[in-house]
Amino acid sequence: MLHCPVFHKRLIAARRARPTKPGGFTFVELIVTIAIIGILAGIAIPAYSNHRKKMLNDRAIFEIQQLEVGITTYYVEHQNQYPDTLADLGPNQNVDPWGNPYQYLKIEGGGSNVNGSCRKDGAAHPLNTDYDLYSMGADGQTKPPLNNPVSRDDIVRANNGGFIDLASEF
């Protein structure tokens, strides 16, 4: 093969004059990237939502446990009498994580009309014999029997404090 300096110079000049590939992404690359982001968001958003829901439920359980301690302290300090309302415990009674006040009903020593108002399980048995303490849950609604669909998200105290969790778990 012969080496021709003129041809070689023209070949190099032609290569330099060619337009280079543009520096952006192709349409297909953009679509694939958007699809991947969409798939990751479709996985992450429900996981975050479930985590947040569990976190709020756990916070309500913890706050009910703290209220239970306050009620027990009141009981000891007031000659074995439960408070009539949560306001009797002090001015800074918390609302639940969803912005609703915690619900309290004195059962022991509360009179004969209390049993009709107390929380009940699916078999219509009262949950507690001393007092009811619960959060109405995320929807802010409740009904006395725990098997009512409206009450399934409530955070309840049952078995005189032996159980504090979602009504759906009782």
Residue 167 CA to residue 93 CA, distance in Å, equals 22
Residue 100 pLDDT exceeds 70:
yes
Give residue 88's domain range: 28-169
Q: Give a yes or no: residue 20 inside a domain.
A: no
Inside any domain, residue 64: yes
In a domain, 9, yes or no: no
Per-residue pLDDT tens for 64-74?
999 999 999 99
Residue 6 lies in a domain: no
In a domain, 60, yes or no: yes
pLDDT in tens, 110-141: 655 565 678 888 788 888 989 999 999 999 99
0.95 surpassed by pTM: no
Place of tokens 């290569």: 15
- What are the tens digits of pLDDT across the range 8-55? 666 676 666 555 566 778 899 999 999 999 999 999 999 999 999 999
- Residue 144, in any domain of the structure: yes
Place of tokens 């159980």: 163
Q: Is residue 53 part of a domain?
A: yes
Residue 10 domain-assigned (yes or no) = no
C-alpha pair distances (Å), 47 with each of 40, 51, 58, 141: 11, 6, 16, 25
Tell me the CATH number at 75.
Answer: 3.30.700.10
Count Cβ atoms below 10 Å from residue 63 Cβ, excluding itself.
18
Name the domain count of the chain: 1
Task: Say how far apart CA 139 and CA 133 lie, in whole Å.
Answer: 17
